[in-house]
Amino acid sequence: MGYRFGIKSLLFFAISLAAAASPYQPLGREAYLTSSFGESRGTRYHAGIDFSTDKEEGWPVIAPSNGVVEFASRGAFGYGRHIKFKAKDEHIWVFAHLAEFNRKIDTLIRKEMLKKEKPNVQLFLKIPFKKGDTLAYSGSTGIGNPHLHVEYRTPGGKVALNPCQKMKCTDTIAPSILEAAPFDSGFAVKIVDYSREPLENPMSIYSLDIYQNKELLFSKKYDSLSFDPKEMAKIKDDLLDAEDIDTVSDWHFINAEIKANSKILAVAKDFANNVSKTELKLKPGVLKLVAKDTIKTFLDTVLPSLGAVYSKMDFAGKPQCRIPVLNTLSGLDFNSIDVRDKDNKWIIFDYDSDPKELVVERRDFDFSEPLNVKLCDKAGNCVERELSCDN
């Protein structure tokens, strides 16, 4: 009896250990990365990682530990709808481009929107959640292409850490060191890192070490990134803006002089520890920088206009009235979009950026009533229209 009990508890212990050791999956399921930490975004580094949601919306976003949602924001651009979750260990998790918040968060956000009569509101909160709870649902707000952006920040939130240290980030293909060229006071190395087949989403490497005659000459690692704008701006010196037919690779600048006839070795690693080693031969002429953009200004005299209204179900089966926005040369002035009912009451709406559409839900508005929409572009051209969602 005692023996059987012993085996059972041992088994139970082993199973609990396995469960405890299973890595955190923000979407609660296996998902692949479409962007890695430290990728170039032109004027800044990508401070998190992106998970594909297979072009779908509404995948549950799972709490990594016990903690509190301390901030929620509903905006049309950038992060779109996003939350900040303060974990038990004080680290901050950011989940962005959400389609929807957990109901507890959503209730407070909607109240704030109606109070302010604004679609883009922010709230500081203190809503507790347990590890494994659903915090929100993935979407495409602010960006247009459904995926989950995940950030993992130090306590206080000023420094972004590589989230791959807290979860499984699969990368089965080692970086390719393509070529090298003299540049300025040093040289540059062209590298591309794919993580999976098909070769669609090139990633940032995790580390680059350069050896001169077996001595370490240069070393960098993408472990953390400061949100300080001055630090972020260093990307201009770090990754060169090269004019390449192959635009997916990065030219890493190495500000170090090379002695004549020395042997230069580059060692590049990705975030799954796949390594590539290549002896560099600097080829003058293969690196051409992009000419600096001349500032373009153009006049916008075309009024924004609205396309044919149609209805559709969202991921949860809730009916939506969708209003296409057309002809906005200078872009929408989001703060001046106004959606009201026949009694001039402000109506909660959403803005989808790809395609550009205003979205009104039936829980916020009776589709059988007329809807007044006013929108302006950034040049101040406005259009006002009475619409019907009842079709």
Chain residues binding Zn ion by CB under 5 A are 50, 149
| Cα–chain center distance at 187 | 31
C-beta of residue 239 within 8 angstroms of C-beta of residue 192 = no
Question: Nearest approach, Cβ of 83 to Zn ion (angstroms)?
Answer: 15
Q: How many residues does the chain have?
A: 391
Nearer CB in complex with Zn ion: 50/171 = 50
Nearer CB in complex with Zn ion: 84/149 = 149
Question: Nearest approach, Cβ of 200 to Zn ion (angstroms)?
Answer: 15
For residue 320, what are the β-bridge partners? 312, 361
C-beta of residue 347 within 8 angstroms of C-beta of residue 371 = yes
- Look at residues 26, 36, 33, 34 and name the one whose alpha carbon lies nearest to residue 269: 36
- DSSP per-residue string spanning 21-75: HSPB-TTSS---EEE-TT-B-SSSB--SEEEE-TT----EEE-SSSEEEEEEEE-
Nearer CB in complex with Zn ion: 44/118 = 44
Question: Nearest approach, Cβ of 197 to Zn ion (angstroms)?
Answer: 22
Alpha carbons 67 and 207: distance in angstroms, whole number: 32
Question: Nearest approach, Cβ of 77 to Zn ion (angstroms)?
Answer: 14
Write b or e for each residue in 28-39: b if 16 or more Cβ atoms lie within 10 A of its Cβ, otherwise e: eeebebbbbbbb
Nearer CB in complex with Zn ion: 75/304 = 75
Nearer CB in complex with Zn ion: 95/211 = 95
Q: What are 261's two structure tokens? A: 């006839």
Question: Nearest approach, Cβ of 181 to Zn ion (angstroms)?
Answer: 30
Nearer CB in complex with Zn ion: 64/163 = 163
Nearer CB in complex with Zn ion: 80/175 = 80
- Look at residues 372, 377, 371 and name the one whose alpha carbon lies nearest to residue 327: 377
Question: Nearest approach, Cβ of 151 to Zn ion (angstroms)?
Answer: 8
Alpha carbons 53 and 31: distance in angstroms, whole number: 7
Nearer CB in complex with Zn ion: 2/42 = 42
C-beta of residue 140 within 8 angstroms of C-beta of residue 352 = yes
Question: Nearest approach, Cβ of 50 to Zn ion (angstroms)?
Answer: 4
Question: Nearest approach, Cβ of 171 to Zn ion (angstroms)?
Answer: 16
Q: Which residue is nearest to Zn ion (CB)?
A: 149
Please, how many CA atoms are within 13 Å of residue 358, restricted to the half-sphere of its CB?
Answer: 28
